[in-house]
Structures are given as structure tokens and as C-alpha cells.
Structure 1
Amino acid sequence: MRRYVLTGTPGAGKTSLLRGLGDLGHGVVEEAATEVIARAQARGEDEPWTRASFIDEIVTLQRLRQLEAATTDAVQVFDRSPVCTLALATHLGRPVSRTLAAELERITSGRIYERQVFFVRNLGFCEPTSARRITFRESLTFEKVHEETYRELGYQLIDIPAADLPHRVATVASAIARHTS
């Protein structure tokens, strides 16, 4: 099984791209951080990312989703990975927790994800949501942290430039086809 990761800054269109790849028949796994935030906000917690346990909650959900993902798919595409969570911890100025370090070791030693990662570039804007409270300028800084984090860990970034959604879906699908044949 080949597990690919979509990464990039918030608001770059990763979720739409993931859904487009799912429509093409690829197994897809949605981002964990958005769900962790949504659950906390549903309980009345406005800014769960300020909580010390936030990073570990994301890592735990990411691991669970990866382990529970169907094993019948030849290709799976993940909206983010624990490497993204490391980038988030760095961006937030948080130390690398034992949980995050252990998960990074697991995915590295187990070769869980392909070393080629789809880096989805920003669209020139970032629309804030209840879970995404970041300005476009901040998103550019966060984008750079993601890029540096993946490169430092030895991943090869496949650049997915800003374009309309059908073009981006076709670009990723084509790259997956080249890598799996």
C-alpha cells in the first residue's frame, strides 16, 4: 500500500483536493486537527490550540485514522501527517512531546508514508474559519515551516502550484499514477 500526504498552509485547498482524489477512487483520510478543534469548540472551548494537550490529541487521532484506514486500497491519500503536527508544534512554539516523538519514530521506521509528499501551495489568500484563525501573512510563515520541516526529515516535496481544483486533482492523480506503475 502506498500512503501519500497532502501538506501545505491552512486554506490552500487540501481538503477540496482530497475530496477530488476520493471521487477518483483513491482511499482518503481527512485531517485530524480540524476535527480536534471542532470537537473542543462544540464543548464550548473557543481556542483549543492553547491547551497543552492539543498537539498530542492531534497525533493520537492521526495515528488512529491511519491504523483504521481500509487496507484494501492500493493508494491512500492523507490530508496531513504527524510531520505536519511537528510543523504545527514548531509554529506554536511548543516542545516536541513524547507522544509526537514516538509517532514520528513509528512512521519513519515503519515507512508508513511515501517519501514523496504533495506540497499544496497557497491560493493567494486564506479565509478564516472558526478552526482556522490565521491571517494570510501568518499562513505564509506557517507554509514555510511546513516546507522546512518536511525537507529536514528527508521528504521530497512535489509542488502543487495554485490552480483551479480540477487541474490540481489531475496533477496529483497523474503523479500518483507515475509513482505506482
Structure 2
Amino acid sequence: MNTKRIVITGGPGTGKSSLINELIRRGYTCLEEISRQVILEAQKEGVDQLFLSNPLLFSELLLKGRKQQFEEANTHSSDTIFFDRGVHDVIAYMDFIGDTYPKHFVDACENLVYDTVFILKPWETIYTSDNERYESFEQALQIHDHLLNTYSQYNYKLIDVPFDTIENRADYILRALQM
């Protein structure tokens, strides 16, 4: 089966997880964001913010998990799989902090190709921080720019999802995909 891989990306606090949860509620196959799992595991080990203390290790763990998710899509019977972020997000965040990364990060972005990428803009009205989200809204705006640049660099034409209710945002995505 030729599974379509659809990424929903955006900076922190843009509503991605809520949108993924809405798609799950509607019966679509979705692979959820893994960064919170990595953060919580590190916190169990006594590392408060792994991304801040060791961004390369954090990014390696994310890349590994996202590559596994990409391959996992082949095991699902659904012909369309939604991803809460893609491998390209790892590079965007590393560029955001101005850190370097090994070539296999670039190789992953070149070799793991998604069919469609939707991006959610930072939306101050819904933005909140929590235990795993340390970025300010101003940083979320900068991350958004890095996401745009990174995905564009790999020849993706990102589809902006307008501000609206979660239900209407899900409808917008499904209409764009003709589902």
C-alpha cells in the first residue's frame, strides 16, 4: 500500500496536538508528537530541560523517534497517516538555537519524504506555556520562521491552516486533502 504521509507542523502552542486529537476522534490514523515523551523521560532521569542542556542529544532522540514513526506508517492499514511534526522540525529547531548537527540529520530530511505539510501559525490567543513548553510567544514566532525556511529548503509547499476552531481547522485540512 502506498501510504500518504501528512505532516501537521508549527511552532509551540499553535494547536497541533489539539488538531491531531480531533483527527483521531474522527477515526483518522495519527502519530502523535514524541518530544513530550523525550522530555518526560529526561526529567525522570533528573534533567529538567534536555533540549536546553544537551540540544544535540535531545535532537538525536527526536530524530530517531520520528524516523521510527515514518517507518511505522508502513505497518498501518490506513492509506493516510497524519504526523504531529516531521523529521524536518528537528533541523528547524537546531537552526533556531544556532547549533550544528551531523549530516545524518540532513540525510533523513532528504530521504524521508512526506506527501503534504500543513503549518499552523503562532496564535497568541491560544498560546500557553507548561512544564514541557518553555518557549515564549516571541520565540514561537522565530521557530515558525525556521520551520518555513527548513521545509521550503527541502522543496515543500506548506499549506497554512487558518485560525479557527479545532473542528473547522480539521475540516480545512480534510478538504485540502479531498478526504
Question: Same fold by TM-score, threshold 0.5 exceeded?
Answer: yes
Distance across 1 between alignment mates of 2:12 and 2:122: 8
TM-score relative to the length of structure 2: 0.90
Cα pair 1:28 1:77 within 8 Å, conserved: yes
- Which residue number in structure 1 is paired with residue 13 of structure 2? 11
- Which residue number in structure 2 is paired with residue 54 of structure 1? 58
Distance across 2 between alignment mates of 1:78 and 1:124: 23
Q: Is residue 121 from structure 1 mapped to residue 121 from structure 2 by the alignment?
A: yes
> Deviating runs (4+, > 4 A) in structure 1?
none
Q: Alignment RMSD, CA only?
A: 1.5
Deviation string, structure 1 residues 134-161 (Cα, Å, up to 9, x no partner): 1111111111111111112110111101
Deviation string, structure 1 residues 14-57 (Cα, Å, up to 9, x no partner): 00101111122221001122221121112221010121311111
What secondary structure is seen at the aligned counterpart in 1 of 2:158? strand
Amino acid of the structure 1 residue aligned with 2:32: E
What secondary structure is seen at the aligned counterpart in 1 of 2:128? coil
- Which residue number in structure 1 is paired with residue 110 of structure 2? 105
Amino acid of the structure 1 residue aligned with 2:60: D
Q: Point out where structure 2 has 5 or more consecutive residues left out of the alignment.
A: none
Cα pair 2:110 2:154 within 8 Å, conserved: no
Deviation string, structure 1 residues 117-174 (Cα, Å, up to 9, x no partner): 1011222242111111011111111111111111121101111011111111111111
What secondary structure is seen at the aligned counterpart in 2 of 1:159? strand
- Which residue number in structure 2 is paired with residue 72 of structure 1? 77
Amino acid of the structure 2 residue aligned with 1:123: W
Q: Post-superposition shift, 1:71?
A: 2.6
Cα pair 2:122 2:137 within 8 Å, conserved: no
Amino acid of the structure 2 residue aligned with 1:117: V
- Which residue number in structure 1 is paired with residue 164 of structure 2? 163
Distance across 1 between alignment mates of 2:122 and 2:162: 8
Distance across 2 between alignment mates of 1:135 and 1:61: 25
Q: Point out where structure 1 has 5 or more consecutive residues left out of the alignment.
A: none
- Which residue number in structure 2 is paired with residue 81 of structure 1? 86
Amino acid of the structure 1 residue aligned with 2:124: G
* Number of aligned positions between the proteins: 173
What secondary structure is seen at the aligned counterpart in 1 of 2:176? helix
- Which residue number in structure 2 is paired with residue 30 of structure 1? 32
Mean Cα displacement is larger for which, 79-88 or 22-31? Answer: 22-31
Distance across 1 between alignment mates of 2:7 and 2:65: 16
What secondary structure is seen at the aligned counterpart in 1 of 2:8? strand
